Amino acid sequence: MLIILICFLVLIMVSVIVYNFSYSIELKLKTVKLEKLFKRKEVKISKKNISDNFIKLITPITKSSNPIIVNYRNLIEQKINIAGNPQGLDFNTIVSIQILVFVFSLILSVLIFETINIIILLLCFILSSGIPILWLNNQIQTRQKNILRNLPDALDLLVLTMEAGLDFSMALNKYIEKGEKGPLRDEFFIVQQEIKMGKTRIEALNSLSERLKIPAVETVINSLVQGLQLGSSLTPILKIQSQQLRIQRFQMAEKLAAEAPTKMLFPLLFFIFPTVFIVLFVPIILSFLKG
């Protein structure tokens, strides 16, 4: 069982490395001279690699009107959008990765067990379908934590610039210029571009709330939208929201600090204490055994 777990972990690591490598480097294949095989004729190698051809092969399946596929596609696309569309992912790429992981895990299982049964197929299916989803969920959590960490500072900067005499749009521009790099600034840049393309500020803010799906951000956006609809000043609203977010962040830190002893209990009991007991008592036991 340990060998199977190690093989699966190695497979996961290799899949992630190959996937990141394929998206971080653009393969540019140039004209190659093959003198021996093609009698010194220049042959142009196609830039379409195997992964592109494989994605095109499964495209008719992923674009099917089957209700199950449609619901699954909507779920994955929603997760991709909430995750900020990492590395230009789309539904076809996710399905391609799932199929490849399923095939690799099935081949590995056959090599280890030398047989195929329903349990192996079920485990391979769970593994292949779960890895991309878990990766997407991790990207979503990381992005949301980054946004929540930077949101109070962003609101404070907006308040300072608006108290200096700028309106909300100009304050937003200043934050995009001076704010910390991250997903929150990228999202505010999208809001700015949508406003320039003709959307109202309320529509652009509502689009931001729909993209992020974060309750704290939705609360801030709802307060701003109400202020814009009523025509009231946005500075007091932003101050109140910033204070509330800081209080929530402090409460979350206290909660995590209170949970730390409980989380440390397992490694203490199963890793640290046994090692200490071995170091302390094994020499004493050996000395007694030697007489």
- Confidence bin at 205 (pLDDT 50/70/90): very high
134 is a domain residue: no
- Rounded CA-CA distance 208/210 in Å is 5
Helices then strands, counting H and E runs in the chain, come out as 12, 2
223 is a domain residue: yes
For residue 233, give its domain range.
147-249
260 is a domain residue: no
Question: Which pLDDT score, from 0 to 100, does residue 15 have?
Answer: 54
Question: Which pLDDT score, from 0 to 100, does residue 49 have?
Answer: 53
42 is a domain residue: no
- Whether residue 110 has pLDDT greater than 90: no
What tokens were used for 81? 């959008």
Read off the CATH number of the domain in which 217 is found: 1.20.81
Q: What is the DSSP string of 17-51?
A: HHHHHHHHS------EEEHHHHTTEEEPPPS--HH
Of 80 and 66, more confident: 80
pLDDT (mean) for 105-120: 83
- Whether residue 19 has pLDDT greater than 80: no
Question: Which pLDDT score, from 0 to 100, does residue 63 have?
Answer: 76
Question: Which pLDDT score, from 0 to 100, does residue 89 have?
Answer: 82
Structural domains of the chain, count: 1
pLDDT (mean) for 63-67: 79
Question: Which pLDDT score, from 0 to 100, does residue 34 have?
Answer: 36
DSSP lists the bridge partners of residue 43 as 32
- Whether residue 238 has pLDDT greater than 60: yes
pLDDT (mean) for 246-258: 86
Contact (Cβ atoms closer than 8 angstroms) between residue 12 and residue 131: yes
- Whether residue 284 has pLDDT greater than 50: yes
210 is a domain residue: yes
- Whether residue 130 has pLDDT greater than 80: yes
- Whether residue 47 has pLDDT greater than 50: no
Question: Which pLDDT score, from 0 to 100, does residue 54 have?
Answer: 64
- Whether residue 221 has pLDDT greater than 90: yes
154 is a domain residue: yes
- Whether residue 6 has pLDDT greater than 50: no
Percentage of residues of the chain with pLDDT beyond 70: 80
59 is a domain residue: no
Question: Which pLDDT score, from 0 to 100, does residue 31 have?
Answer: 38
283 is a domain residue: no
Question: Which pLDDT score, from 0 to 100, does residue 114 have?
Answer: 77
Contact (Cβ atoms closer than 8 angstroms) between residue 84 and residue 143: yes
pTM of the model: 0.70
Of 48-57, 96-105, 149-158, the range with the highest mean pLDDT is: 149-158
- Confidence bin at 203 (pLDDT 50/70/90): very high
Of 21 and 130, more confident: 130
